[in-house]
Amino acid sequence: MTEMETRTWLGWDRAHVWHPYTQMQLAPEAVGVSRAKGSYLYLADGRRVLDAISSWWLTLHGHCHPRIAEAIANQAASLEQVIFAGFTHQPASQLAKQLVEISPAGLEKVFYSDNGSTAVEVALKMCIQYWKHRGESRRTFLALEHAYHGDTFGAMSVSAESAFTRPFSDHLFHVKRLPFPAPSLEASDAFSPTETQFLSELRAACATNDIAGFIYEPLLLGAGGMLMWRPEILTEALRITQEFEILTIADEVLTGFGRTGSMFASDKVALTPDLMTLSKGLTGGFLPMGVTLTSQKIFDAFLSDDRSRTFFHGHSYTANPISCAAALASLAVFKEEPVWERIKTIETSHDELGPALVERHSLHFRKIGTIAAFEPAMSKGYLGGNALQFSARALAAGLVVRPLGDVIYLLPPYSTTADDLVFAFDVLDSILTTGNR
C-alpha cells in the first residue's frame, strides 16, 4: 500500500468513524494498523509495536495464527452462514461438544450468541425465565462492586455504577451490589475484613427469597481495575448460593481459555456455576462470538408442550459457521502446540520482572496467570488523563498498553516471549522513571 493510499483511508476514518470508549473531540488521530503477526502490530507509518494487551484481551495464540486463518478460509469456501433456528451444522455441533468436555462439570448445554455482552444477556434472561417456569417471580440479581459485564442494558445493570452506565441509570433494573472481597495485603489463610463482609452480605441477600441469580467475574475483575480475589472465597460463596438454591453465573468472557493459568478461572474453584459465559478468546481473537453454557437443570426448566415456555432469544449470526471453525482451530492449537508452556513463560517473566518494578516505583503488584497489574498507592480513578498520556508514551516507545485509570497492566498473547516481556517492563520502567504518572 502506498503512502498516498494510507493517508486516504486514514482520512476516511477521521471523517466518518466514531470510535468506542473515545471522546472524539479530545482524542488524537487513531493509530492506523496495516497488519499483524504473532505478538506484534505493524503500524501504517511503518513501526512495529508489541501488543501487550492482546488487542483488548482477545488475541490468544498470536495475531494471524496460520492454523486459525486456514480454518476460516476453508470454512468460508464451504458454508459461510445458515439460519440456526431449526438448522444446524457440523462446526457448531462439534464446538458445543468440545466446550462441554473442557468446561467445569455440570455445564451440559451450549447457547450461541454474538459477543460477551450478549452472552451475559442470555444468562440473565435464562435465570429470570427459569424462576418464572418454577412459579416464582424473582427480580433481583447479586453482583460485585467494581464489576463489568458488558454494555447492553442487562449487562450494564449488573455492572458497577460508573461513567459507563450513569447516563442510562433510569433504564437499568435493580441489583444488590456486594462488597468486593479484597484479600489481605499480607499472606494469610484467614479471611480479610472485606472477605468476611462479602460472605455475610451474600448470605443475608440469599435469605430474602427474591434473588434470581448471582453473577461474578471469577477471580479477576477486569475493567474494574484488574482486581483479584481468592478461589477459597469464591468456593465459600458458591456453597452459600447452593444452600439457598440461587443460580450462579460465572462471567468468563475475559478469564476463559488460559488467561488465569488454567483453561477457565472456575477450574480453580471447588464448586461449579449453573451458567458460564464465554467470548473474547473463544475464537482465538479472530471473530466475534459468544457462548452461554448452562446446566441440564436450567435447560430442562424450558422443556414443555407449551410453546410460550420457549427461550425466545436469538441473533442473526448465531453459531456462525466461520466463527465456529475459528474456535475449533483455536482449541486444536491448545492440543497440538505447547500453549501451556508458553503461558508458563509469561507467568515466570511476571514473577521475575514485576517485583523490581514495584520496588523502584512504590506500586501495588498483583498477578494471576498471564495477567500482571501495577497500581500506585494513590490511585486517581478511571477518567484521569494520565492513562491516555501513558498509552501515548508507551506507543512511541514501541509498546501497546491501555491502562485502566491508574492501573497499568500487561495481558499479552501467548506467543509473547521472555525477551518481549523484558522489553515491555523496560518501557514501563522508563516511563514511570520520568514521572509521567
- Longest alpha-carbon distance in the chain: 69
Cell digits of residue 125: 434472561
Cell digits of residue 356: 523490581
| C-alpha–C-alpha distance, residues 394 and 397, integer Å | 5
Give the mean pLDDT of 382-398. 84
Give the mean pLDDT of 278-284. 98
Tell me the three state secondary structure of residue 34.
Answer: strand
pLDDT value at residue 381: 62
Share of the chain above pLDDT 70, in %: 98
Q: What is the pLDDT of residues 211-228, one digit of tens each?
A: 999 999 999 999 999 999
Average pLDDT, the chain: 95
Give me the sheet containing 48-51, strands edge to edge: 33-37, 40-43, 48-51, 399-400
Residue 44, Cα to own-chain centre: how many angstroms?
Answer: 28
The residues pairing with 35 across neighbouring beta strands, listed in sequence order, are 42
- 393 class by beta-carbon count within 10 Å (0-12 exposed, 13-18 middle, 19+ buried): middle
Q: What is the pLDDT of residues 405-414, one digit of tens each?
A: 889 999 999 9
The domain locations on the chain are 31-61+338-433, 69-335
- Crossing angle of helices 418-433 and 339-361, rounded to 10°: 20
Whether 318 has a pLDDT exceeding 90, the answer reads yes
**CATH 3.40.640.10 at 69-335, yes or no:** yes
pLDDT value at residue 326: 98
Whether 426 has a pLDDT exceeding 70, the answer reads yes
pLDDT value at residue 387: 82
pLDDT value at residue 47: 96
Tell me the three state secondary structure of residue 276.
Answer: strand
Residues labelled catalytic? 21, 148, 251, 280
Give the mean pLDDT of 372-397. 82
The CATH number that domain 31-61+338-433 falls under is 3.90.1150.10
> What is the value of pTM for the model shown?
0.96
pLDDT value at residue 383: 57
Q: What is the pLDDT of residues 65-108, one digit of tens each?
A: 999 999 999 999 999 999 999 999 999 999 999 999 999 999 99
Query: pLDDT grade, residue 19 (50/70/90)?
Result: very high
Return the number of other C-beta atoms located less than 10 Å from residue 388's C-beta.
Answer: 16
Asked if residues 155 and 190 have their Cβ atoms less than 8 Å apart, the reply is: no
